[in-house]
Amino acid sequence: MSSDDLKRTAAKAALEEVLPKLGRDGIIGIGTGSTANCFIDLLAEHRGVFDAAVASSDASAARLRQHGIAVIDLNAAASIAVYIDGADEVDPQRRLIKGGGGALTREKICAASADEFICIVDHTKVVDVLGTFAVPVEVIPMARGLVGRAIVAAGGTPVLREDFVTDNGNLILDVYGLKLTDPARMETDLNNVVGTVCNGIFAAQAADRVIVAGPEGTRWLT
């Protein structure tokens, strides 16, 4: 099975799980990336059974609209039944590194706003300890140097993501080499550096459930 097939398998399992829970006035939260795109494409067939979506990026909002799915602003959503998104790394406690697509801030906001966050990944994303994948940190442009120096002091190596501006108008530092033995602590420490908008460690609020698609089938981390 190709990586794309596995992403579609995880997305299909998520769809089967969430569709029965979405009433006609239900709002679904949608993430960003190739796995989230698989979910969007499958969701299109069912656009009549729920009300609208909230998207974690302009790219996902555009894809949803191309499929005829209404997209609303998060502030207009009374509640979000479930948020579906991929991840770059997942550990056994369902803590994540996200932000490979640069949408980490809106992703964290959507996840925090939803009643449930279901993460969908292929098996290659599952690790024992987070941290091989660089941790993306969204920074206010004028604070790039300040935040970068604080990250070096914390033991990381920040690399500016070239030719990239987030949907919020900010920059991304991809941080290599951080020791993530206590991911929640590192998430807080990075957030406390002035000029940081958000970082891609999802430990304070891990995913509620993770669907992992592999060659032997689909399993859940709960």
Q: What residue ranges bind ligand 5RP (CB under 6 A)? A: 31-35, 85-88, 98-104, 107
Question: Looking at beta carbons only, is 26 or 101 nearer to ligand 5RP?
Answer: 101
Distance CA 77, CA 26 (A): 9
Give the nearer residue to ligand 5RP in terms of CB position, either 88 or 187. 88
Q: Closer CB to ligand 5RP, residue 69 or residue 111?
A: 111
Which CB, 106 or 156, lies closer to ligand 5RP? 106
Q: DSSP assignment of 58-109, as one string?
A: HHHHHHHHHTT--B--GGG-S-BSEEEE--SEE-TT--EE--TTS-HHHHHH
Give me the count of residues in the chain: 222
Residue 222 near residue 209, CB atoms below 8 Å: yes
107 is a catalytic site residue: yes
In the complex, what is the shortest distance from the CB of residue 115 to ligand 5RP, in angstroms, rounded to a whole number? 20
List, in sequence order, the alpha helices (H) in the chain.
3-18, 34-43, 58-66, 104-113, 144-153, 183-191
Task: Count the neighbouring beta carbons within 10 Å of the beta carbon of residue 98.
Answer: 29
The residue among 153, 132, 115, 136 whose CA lies nearest residue 33 is 136
* Residue 7 C-beta: closest distance to ligand 5RP, Å: 6
CA distance 218 to 131: 24
Which among 16, 17, 89, 107 is annotated as catalytic? Answer: 107
Q: How far is the CB of 129 from ligand 5RP (least distance, A)?
A: 18
DSSP 8-state class, residue 142: G
Q: How far apart are CA 103 and CA 63, in angstroms?
A: 15
Q: For residues 136 and 148, which CB has a smaller minimum distance to ligand 5RP in the complex?
A: 136
Q: Min. distance of Cβ 48 from ligand 5RP in angstroms?
A: 26
Write down the least CB distance from residue 128 to ligand 5RP, Å: 19
Catalytic residues: 107
